[in-house]
Amino acid sequence: MKQVKRGEWVEIEEILLEPEKRAKHLPLDTKKVPLVQWFKGYMITEEANIGDEVEIKTLIGRKVKGKLSDINPKHVHNFGEPIKELIDVGIELRDEIIKLD
């Protein structure tokens, strides 16, 4: 396991609500897991391993404590499965615009 040093870009997580403290009206699959928030920033703690409690400084200067969850985290997202109709419409519109020129 890689030991993380002060000043490295990391991600931490903090549990806001344990499952038993979540609202009763939530869907079952939602209320059976904790409510978690994540922060990214530069580690202030001298050194740590994944899972250790650390303090970070975010880009806007906030100091936040939480459990170290990732080193040099990526922005991971997508826009879901492609929708064929939208792809087709895009092609049709492009053809229409070309005809206008």
Give the residue extent of every domain in the chain: 4-76
Q: Which residues of the chain have pLDDT under 70?
A: none
Report the distance separating Cα 5 and Cα 44, nearest Å.
9
pTM of the model: 0.72
In percent, how much of the chain has pLDDT > 90?
A: 84
- Tell me the per-residue pLDDT of 80-92, one tens digit each, with 9 for 90 and over: 898 999 999 999 9
Compute the Cα dihedral for 60, 67, 52, 70 and give only its sign. negative
**Predicted local confidence at residue 67, as pLDDT:** 98
**Predicted local confidence at residue 43, as pLDDT:** 98
Helices (H), the chain: 28-31, 84-100
